[in-house]
């Protein structure tokens, strides 16, 4: 499986990192080795002093598809989830300054947290989903999929023009504003429409 991530998909997050608003989706890939095993704590890597949480709504692809039209995109997924795209911000900044790829900053071991999955039929409208991340019981990120620059079906259609999507692939759809640094002993909790989908200890 592959993990396809969308960057800069919420205006407020673009503004907080002082990035340019893209004319088309920003796409990058995490390797499957970046998935944090279930029930495992997250250990801050030695090569970074500034790892940030980025909570995101996830979509799991259920069948093979290529050049998928937006109209038929909903037939390619049945499950919605929530996760974290951990980012070594200090390393990412250095790479961006040199015009280099971000993989070392976003694809390291454990950098992809994948919570529990819910049937999309649980939701009335996937383009109106509320989600949030708590750090030590305090809300640090809140978002709604209605504020995405590119909605889920648009993302699937766009990404499938470049990459064949396969059963089990996961799409990280972008993070809202509020990203921030994690520290040892932090405790993170992610919820989608008030349903808790993951908890995580930081070491």
Whether 13 shows a pLDDT value over 70: the answer reads: no
Lowest mean pLDDT among 7-11, 14-18, 122-126, 190-194: 14-18
pLDDT value at residue 11: 74
Whether 17 shows a pLDDT value over 80: the answer reads: no
pLDDT value at residue 23: 86
What is the arithmetic mean of pLDDT over 109-129?
A: 98
**Bridge-based pairing state of the strands 3-7 and 170-172:** parallel
Query: Can you tell me the distance from the alpha carbon of 133 to that of 59, in angstroms, rounded to the nearest whole number?
Result: 18
CA distances to 1, 58, 61 from 77, rounded to whole Å, are 15, 11, 5
What the block records as the tokens of 76 is 């390619």
**CA neighbours within 13 Å on the CB side: how many for 166?**
4
List pLDDT tens digits, range 67-76.
999 999 999 9
Whether 62 shows a pLDDT value over 90: the answer reads: yes
Considering the domain delimited by 3-202, tell me its CATH architecture.
Alpha-Beta Complex (3.90)
pLDDT value at residue 65: 98
Query: Can you tell me the distance from the alpha carbon of 181 to that of 90, in angstroms, rounded to the nearest whole number?
Result: 11
What is the arithmetic mean of pLDDT over 136-152?
A: 96
The pLDDT-based confidence of 85 (bands split at 50, 70, 90) is very high
The pLDDT-based confidence of 14 (bands split at 50, 70, 90) is low
The pLDDT-based confidence of 21 (bands split at 50, 70, 90) is confident
DSSP for 58-69 reads: EEEE-S-BSS--
pLDDT value at residue 32: 96
Question: Would you say 32 and 3 are in contact if contact means Cβ atoms under 8 Å apart?
Answer: yes
User: Which pTM value belongs to this model?
Assistant: 0.95
**CA neighbours within 13 Å on the CB side: how many for 47?**
11
List pLDDT tens digits, range 157-168.
999 999 999 999
* Alpha helices for the chain (secondary structure H): 11-16, 89-97, 103-106, 152-159
């Amino acid at each position: 499986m592959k993990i396809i991530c969308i960057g800069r998909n919420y205006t407020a997050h673009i503004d907080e990192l002082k990035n340019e608003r893209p004319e088309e989706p920003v796409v990058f890939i995490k390797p499957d080795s970046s998935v944090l095993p279930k029930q495992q704590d997250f250990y801050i890597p030695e090569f970074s002093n500034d790892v940030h949480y980025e909570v995101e709504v996830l979509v799991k692809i259920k069948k093979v598809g290529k050049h998928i039209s937006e109209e038929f995109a909903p037939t390619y997924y049945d499950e919605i989830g929530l996760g974290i795209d951990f980012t070594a911000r200090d390393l990412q900044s250095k790479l961006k300054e040199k015009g280099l790829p971000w993989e070392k900053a976003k694809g390291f071991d454990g950098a992809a947290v994948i919570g529990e999955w819910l049937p999309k039929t649980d939701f009335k409208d996937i383009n109106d989903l509320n989600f949030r991340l708590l750090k030590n019981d305090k809300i640090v990120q809140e978002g709604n999929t209605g504020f995405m620059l590119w909605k889920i079906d648009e993302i699937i259609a766009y990404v499938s023009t470049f990459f064949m999507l396969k059963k089990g692939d996961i799409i990280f759809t972008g993070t809202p504003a509020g990203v921030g640094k994690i520290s040892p002993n932090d405790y993170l909790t992610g919820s989608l429409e008030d349903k808790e989908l993951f908890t995580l200890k930081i070491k």
